[in-house]
Amino acid sequence: MCRWILIAFGVLLITSDASEWPQFLGPTRNGVYAGNDLARVWPKEGPPKRWEKKIGEGFSGITVANGRAILFHRLGNKEVIEALKVESGEPIWTFDYSCAYRDDFARGDGPRATPAIANEKIITFGAEGMLSCLDSSSGKKIWSVDAKEQFGATKGFFGMACSPLVEGNNVLLNMGGKNGAGIVAFDQQTGRTVWKATDHEAGYSSPVGATVHGRRVAAFLTRSGLVILDPEKGKVHSEFPWRARMAASVNAATPLVIGDLIFLSASYDTGAIVLALKENNKLQEIWSSDEALSNHYATSVHRAGFLYGFHGRQEEGPSLRCIELKTGRVRWSREQGPAGTVTLADDMLLVLFEDGRLMLAEAASERFRMIAEAQILPFGARAYPAVANGYLYARSKDKLVCVNLGKAN
């Protein structure tokens, strides 16, 4: 159950219990697990696996709610959505539809976007642009929209990848469509188009909702830059051009909204920037740097004034870093490892590397200190994991595991 808390700066934050991970980057869409139930010592062989199963391909993360884990993957010529029992991984229901997507760079043909679970519905966005809304109990289709056909959205470099953002009754997508359909909102009940905004091409970044200066906004990092708008009406409040200085590039990490500050990061000689969103909708640059924290595809996490994330291109051996939010100063850097994702959990960092290793480290600014490490998956673990009730759900190219990270494992 979610709760609304008013804090001193006039910003409303959503807090959540630890039982669900209902969307991309978790309940508060910032890569933070709300529980304090994780073990700080792992068995020698690593944290115990609750279950594992062979799955189809894709980069879509797992979402968890109401005792179900939602898997979105590709099997043959179909994109498949499955509800699994969290206790065993056994299927509860399955829904599928035909998909002809083929990746131009042989990076995999499965879906990229992570499902959203809201109001007893599951919303998915496929690699070819099929937006689907299902009943979470039965898996029956409520509505669907072919974004490629309806809005002229293109596949970009690596297919369509925006993880749906649910704000009120609207489902928001970084669409990259034609005729003003750069960003599109859909009615959650019917799938009809509520509003369209911008002519921006889509990047590979998913949007985030936040309450700043007492009002709700949505932040999108498109292929062109940052867009701040009203998630209900679609009115654009602010735009900030910000992208790589080369055509063969993508913006992929999700914006982080921390109070009235917005952190953006991208690779391809783009770097990082922190902007302050003022009450008059103006964006003021606080700092920018090409050398601080350049996220290629994985979003950083924030704790107590510091950011933790991967700096550098995925294929070039990035470093894991801690920087100061308000200055960009690098506090520590763990050099030359494989790329991965970072989740903040119980004031610790859960780092899932692409080679399938899971690392537990201190979320501390003074120095890097690894607490534990274990191999939980084969190579190819690029999707974001989910953490719910002390269990971690993570996938590689063809395997899904549920791992017990709890204190009582």
- Provide the CATH number for the domain around residue 188: 2.130.10.10
Evaluate if residue 408 carries a pLDDT over 80. no
What's the mean pLDDT in 157-162? Answer: 93
Element holding 50 (H helix, E strand):
strand 49-54
DSSP notation for 185-197: EEETTT--EEEEE
Q: Measured between alpha carbons, how far apart are the two ends of the chain, in Å?
A: 25
- pLDDT at residue 12, as a whole number: 33
Q: How far apart are CA 202 and CA 222, in angstroms?
A: 5
* Beta pairing class for 225-229 and 141-146: unpaired
- pLDDT at residue 35, as a whole number: 94
Evaluate if residue 5 carries a pLDDT over 70. no
Share of the chain above pLDDT 70, in %: 95
What's the mean pLDDT in 211-217? Answer: 98
Residues in the chain: 409
For residue 79, what are the CA distances in angstroms to 99, 102, 129, 208?
A: 6, 12, 11, 25
CB < 8 Å & 24+ apart, contacts of 2-5 = 2/27
**Is the distance from CB of 123 to CB of 132 less than 8 angstroms?**
yes
Nearest C-alpha neighbor of 312 from the set 374, 268, 362, 369: 268
Evaluate if residue 15 carries a pLDDT over 80. no
CB < 8 Å & 24+ apart, contacts of 10-13 = 10/213, 10/214, 11/210, 11/211, 11/212, 11/213, 11/214, 11/259, 11/260, 12/211, 12/214, 13/211
Residue bearing the bigger pLDDT, 9 or 266: 266
Classify residue 106 as exposed, middle or buried by CB count within 10 Å of its CB (0-12, 13-18, 19+): exposed
Phi, psi (degrees; rounded to nearest 5) at 150: -75, -35
Nearest C-alpha neighbor of 318 from the set 294, 350, 343: 294
DSSP annotation of 202 reads P
Domain holding 245, by residue range, is 13-404
Residue at 8 is within a domain: no
Share of the chain above pLDDT 90, in %: 86
Q: How far apart are CA 109 and CA 127, in angstroms?
A: 8
Nearest C-alpha neighbor of 361 from the set 38, 30, 25: 38
The angle at the Cα of 360, spanning 355 to 363, to the nearest 5 degrees, equals 125
Strands lying side by side in the sheet with 271-277: 256-258, 261-266, 271-277, 283-289
**Is the distance from CB of 331 to CB of 304 less than 8 angstroms?**
no
Evaluate if residue 2 carries a pLDDT over 70. no
- pLDDT at residue 118, as a whole number: 97
- pLDDT at residue 7, as a whole number: 31
pTM of the model: 0.94
Q: How far apart are CA 71 and CA 91, in angstroms?
A: 10
Residue at 200 is within a domain: yes
Evaluate if residue 37 carries a pLDDT over 80. yes
Tokens of 275: 């902007």
Q: How far apart are CA 133 and CA 125, in angstroms?
A: 9
- pLDDT at residue 1, as a whole number: 38
Residue at 346 is within a domain: yes
- pLDDT at residue 9, as a whole number: 30
Q: How far apart are CA 317 and CA 104, in angstroms?
A: 23
For residue 179, what are the CA distances in angstroms to 18, 48, 154, 226, 343?
A: 41, 51, 13, 19, 37
What's the mean pLDDT in 176-199? Answer: 97
Which residue in the block uniquely carries the two structure tokens 């010529």? 77
Which tens digit of pLDDT belongs to each residue from 237-248? 999 999 877 776
Which tens digit of pLDDT belongs to each residue from 300-348? 999 999 999 999 988 888 999 999 999 999 999 998 789 999 999 999 9
Which residue in the block uniquely carries the two structure tokens 């642009």? 129
**Mean of all residue pLDDT scores within the chain:** 93
Evaluate if residue 190 carries a pLDDT over 80. yes
Evaluate if residue 137 carries a pLDDT over 60. yes
- pLDDT at residue 409, as a whole number: 66
Residue at 2 is within a domain: no
Which tens digit of pLDDT belongs to each residue from 72-119? 999 999 999 999 999 999 999 999 999 999 999 888 999 999 999 999
- pLDDT at residue 154, as a whole number: 87
What's the mean pLDDT in 260-287? Answer: 96
Residue at 4 is within a domain: no
Evaluate if residue 283 carries a pLDDT over 90. yes
What's the mean pLDDT in 249-253? Answer: 86
* Three-state secondary-structure class, residue 99: coil
Residue at 25 is within a domain: yes
Residue at 1 is within a domain: no
pLDDT band, residue 169 (cuts 50/70/90): very high
- pLDDT at residue 101, as a whole number: 95
Evaluate if residue 269 carries a pLDDT over 90. no
**246: amino acid identity, one letter:** M
pLDDT band, residue 231 (cuts 50/70/90): very high
**Is the distance from CB of 285 to CB of 300 less than 8 angstroms?**
no
Number of domains in the chain: 1
Residue at 409 is within a domain: no
